[in-house]
Amino acid sequence: MEYFNFVKKVVFEGPESKNPLAYKFYDPERIILGKPMKEHLKFAMAWWHNLGADGTDMFGRGTIDKSFGVVPGTLEHAKAKVDAGFEFMTKMGIKYFCFHDVDLVPEQKDINDTNKMLDEVSDYIVEKQKETGIKCLWGTANLFGNPRYMCGGGTSNRVDVYCFAAAQIKKALDITVKLGGENYVFWGGREGYETLLNTDMGLEEENIAQLMKMAVEYGRKIGLKGDFYIEPKPKEPMKHQYDFDAATSIGFLRKYGLDKDFKMNIEANHAELAKHTFEHELRVSRLNGMLGSIDANEGDCVLGWDVDRFPANVYTATFAMLEILKAGKISGGLNFDAKTRRASNTFEDMFKAYILGMDTWALGLINAAKIIEDGRIDKFVADRYATWNSDLGKKIRAGECKLEELAAIGCEQKFFSAENSGREEELQEVLNSILFR
Ligand code: XLS
Ligand code: CA
Ligand code: CA
């Protein structure tokens, strides 16, 4: 059965094309900085939004029918989603997908029944992977939807709930490895708190660290070779989320000795919710050797919550690509954790949304390469710190100075030169002249 018969294959037609079902900028074979675009941009489809989200919001029912011709909530429907997903990825030229356990099959009353369905559906996915060569970028367990997790999974006040979380993580790891998944994600859905009046924060953090240690031990035992990721998010659903941002999460990983196995999965919309820029979160991760993967989407500053829009902001994609290029190779890719708006309710809109996202990131890559090749901005930054290349600067950086020595030098200086403009506006103009020439 063909679900999307309005298109055979989405191909690159160039910026002049008026065809809404063609790439204008994503040209997989085009060489940028010595590598084809398709190698720089490891795009992935998010199973949950693309095959699951039907436009439901707090005020109304779904607007797009994702039953794919069968009754939702059945095994047939889970398999129809596999068919639709693989048709979509093949037609788009997308080589990876990401999933939560409960995206693949509907959760049953008894977890053992859910697990049996997961075995069957993942067998079916393996067949499709053999036919198409499409791979799994990462898997994860949904420890936030079921009411049992209302007070957290790994940070629950109850040990029985914690064991349910362990059961789901174990199975999600099994399925990830079975699908050849490269990495595994922890997003701390309900892992946080509403009020300290009822919360033992120290115990909760120790417990989730322990759960992560056990997950690493098990994952390595069954053959997971890639990285574990934490995906920081500051709020929503909980008022205080333990994985607030990259800096907080990295501190947590180091405290509990998890930093060798874990990296960051940075989502643009989550960075904005933490009142950071996306590129800030990427830079913090990169500088700590912890940039693992990206959830490619964007927020909406007018709304201010987690809206998971498809990325359209070329400046943001440009700054993000600069960080990714400077990080060198990352273990992950660009997962479109994004959904079409409620009123974009056709299958054509799903294709157009991915085209928008992929073209936006292609532009980001093209622009980031131009900025690097131009060199003016990197040079400005290097020059701005030039005094640190003096003998004194080098000595301080080598840790060879005492505070008294520097204080004496400081006191000898009679005035402070104000010739130190940061020239932000000039740099913005340089940036525009590079991007739009
Ligand atoms: C929710 C998160 C979630 C993670 C995976 O805000 O983005 O979808 O990516 O659990
Ligand atoms: Ca995400
Ligand atoms: Ca999100």
pLDDT digits (tens, 9 = 90+) for 303-322: 989 999 999 999 999 999 99
pLDDT for 384 beyond 90: yes
What is the predicted pLDDT for the residue at 178? 98
- For residue 187 and ligand 1, the question of a CB distance below 6 A is answered with yes
Q: What is the pTM of this model?
A: 0.97
pLDDT digit string (tens) for 51-86? 999 999 999 999 999 999 999 999 999 999 999 999
What is the predicted pLDDT for the residue at 172? 99
**Which residue out of 27, 101, 103, 359 is catalytically annotated?**
103
pLDDT for 181 beyond 90: yes
* Atom 4 of ligand 1, residue of closest alpha carbon: 187
pLDDT digit string (tens) for 229-273? 999 999 999 999 999 999 999 999 999 999 999 999 999 999 999
Percent above pLDDT 70 for the chain: 100
pLDDT digit string (tens) for 402-417? 999 999 999 999 878 8
* Atom 7 of ligand 1, residue of closest alpha carbon: 337
Counting ligand 1 atoms within 8 A of each CB, the residue from 267, 293, 297 with the most, and so the one to mutate, is 267
- Alpha carbons 153 and 281: distance in angstroms, whole number: 25
What is the predicted pLDDT for the residue at 404? 98
Query: Ligand 3 being an ion, which residues bring their Cβ within 5 A of it?
Result: 269, 306, 308
- Alpha carbons 155 and 191: distance in angstroms, whole number: 6
DSSP sequence for 50-94: HHT----BTTB--SS---TTS-TTSHHHHHHHHHHHHHHHHHHT-
**Average pLDDT for the chain:** 97
Mean pLDDT confidence for 362-390 = 98
Structure tokens at 360: 């936006």
pLDDT band of residue 13 (cuts 50, 70, 90) is very high
Closest CA to 334 of 95, 71, 35, 10: 95
What is the predicted pLDDT for the residue at 418? 80
**Å from CA of 295 to ligand 2 middle:** 5
Residue 374 annotated among the catalytic residues of the structure:
no
What is the predicted pLDDT for the residue at 414? 83
* Atom 5 of ligand 1, residue of closest alpha carbon: 187
pLDDT for 419 beyond 90: no
- For residue 293 and ligand 1, the question of a CB distance below 6 A is answered with no
Query: At residue 17, what is the residue type?
Result: S
**Å from CA of 231 to ligand 2 middle:** 7
Residue 77 annotated among the catalytic residues of the structure:
no
What is the predicted pLDDT for the residue at 235? 95
pLDDT for 287 beyond 90: yes
pLDDT digit string (tens) for 121-166? 999 999 999 999 999 999 999 999 999 999 999 999 999 999 999 9
pLDDT for 102 beyond 90: yes
Grouping H, G, I as helix, E, B as strand and the rest as coil, residue 181 is coil
Closest CA to 350 of 126, 136, 68, 74: 68
Closest CA to 139 of 3, 211, 48: 48
pLDDT for 376 beyond 90: yes
